[in-house]
Amino acid sequence: MWRVMLLVIDVGNSNIVMGIYREEELLYAWRLFADRNQTADEYEIKIRALMGGAQISLADISDVIISSVVPPLMPAMEKMIGVCFGVTPVIVEPGIKTGLQIMYDNPREVGADRIVNAVAGYELYGGPLIIIDFGTATTFCVIDEAGRWIGGAISPGIGISAEALFQRASRLPRIELVKPKQVIGRNTVSGMQSGIIYGYVALVDGMVNRINRETGIVHRVIATGGMAEAIAEESETIEAVAPNLTLEGLRLIYNRNRR
């Protein structure tokens, strides 16, 4: 079969998200645990299993683009890509064409995932825009009407906040992160769930309102990441959830750097 498919990979602190595109169509998307101790051979086994289950041949992949915020994982990922697909991946790093102007004091400090999200967010929704990514960290990225990435904010992610509560408070249990029926908890578990879920809803809405006041502009707000749906259901400011925003951003950046 003619090699016409693009594999996009985003390596995060907690998960590796992958997708396969045929032109503009996302055919498959997968999420793997990001294990820094796994070798290229182990990742090769996983990718072969995923693609085999989707009945896609390794030979169907024409190119690969990868973004990462975990440098120690990159040697294994690059080696796996070379062995499986026989290509050198496009890497989202300083110097790559994104079409995005970064207005940060030091643009190199901006995580690749935030740049990729911003590229897709502006392409899909325009500006001014706030993108909230519920990952290991909860990040806020602010894009103006001209498509300039003007900055943002970073707070601890929902998962690590819940885990820290369990680790540091000896009498509090590890809980499932689900929305409780009411804000006022009637037991320890529902009280913790309320504080974490509704607390993050208040964090999101409070930060969005502060950004709007500081800029004097009402931004459109979109969310992505693992807890986006749960928070968006209760948020007064999130207008849309884009679960595949990072994958779409990688596809767009690949097209702007097509070899």
Domains in the chain, CATH or no CATH each: 5-91 (3.30.420.40), 101-244 (3.30.420.40)
Q: How far apart are CA 206 and CA 172, in angstroms?
A: 27
Q: What is the mean pLDDT of the chain?
A: 93
Q: How far apart are CA 117 and CA 259, in angstroms?
A: 22
Strand partners of residue 21? 6, 26
Instruction: Select from 94, 100, 133, 97 the least CA-distant residue to 114.
Output: 133
Q: How far apart are CA 255 and CA 259, in angstroms?
A: 9
- Asked if 134 and 223 touch (Cβ cutoff 8 Å), the reply is yes
Give pLDDT, residue 165.
86
Place of tokens 């390794």: 58
pLDDT at 226 over 90: no
Segment among 57-66, 81-90, 166-175, 209-218 with least mean pLDDT = 166-175
Going by C-beta distance under 8 Å and a sequence separation of 6 or more, which residues neighbour residue 170?
A: none
Q: Which of left, alpha, beta for 177 (phi over 0: left; psi -120 to 50: alpha)?
A: beta
Give pLDDT, residue 85.
94
pLDDT at 30 over 80: yes
pLDDT at 100 over 60: yes
In this prediction the pTM is 0.91
Long-range contact list for 114-117, CB < 8 A, 24+ apart?
114/139, 114/141, 114/149, 114/152, 115/67, 115/149, 115/249, 116/10, 116/67, 116/92, 116/246, 116/249, 116/250, 116/253, 117/141, 117/224, 117/245, 117/246, 117/249
- Asked if 17 and 10 touch (Cβ cutoff 8 Å), the reply is yes
Going by C-beta distance under 8 Å and a sequence separation of 6 or more, which residues neighbour residue 74?
A: 11, 66, 68, 91
Tens digit of pLDDT for each residue in 11-24?
998 899 999 999 99
At 259, the pLDDT band (50, 70, 90 cuts) reads: low
pLDDT at 43 over 60: yes
Mean pLDDT of the region 138-159 = 95
At 2, the pLDDT band (50, 70, 90 cuts) reads: very low
Which residues are designated catalytic?
113
Percent of all residues in the chain with a pLDDT value above 90, rounded to a whole number:
78
Tens digit of pLDDT for each residue in 103-142?
988 888 898 999 999 999 999 999 999 999 999 999 999 9
Give pLDDT, residue 3.
58
Going by C-beta distance under 8 Å and a sequence separation of 6 or more, which residues neighbour residue 134?
A: 157, 158, 223, 224, 225, 226, 227, 228, 231
Q: How far apart are CA 71 and CA 69, in angstroms?
A: 6
pLDDT at 192 over 70: yes
- Asked if 8 and 249 touch (Cβ cutoff 8 Å), the reply is no
Tens digit of pLDDT for each residue in 68-92?
999 999 999 999 999 999 999 999 9
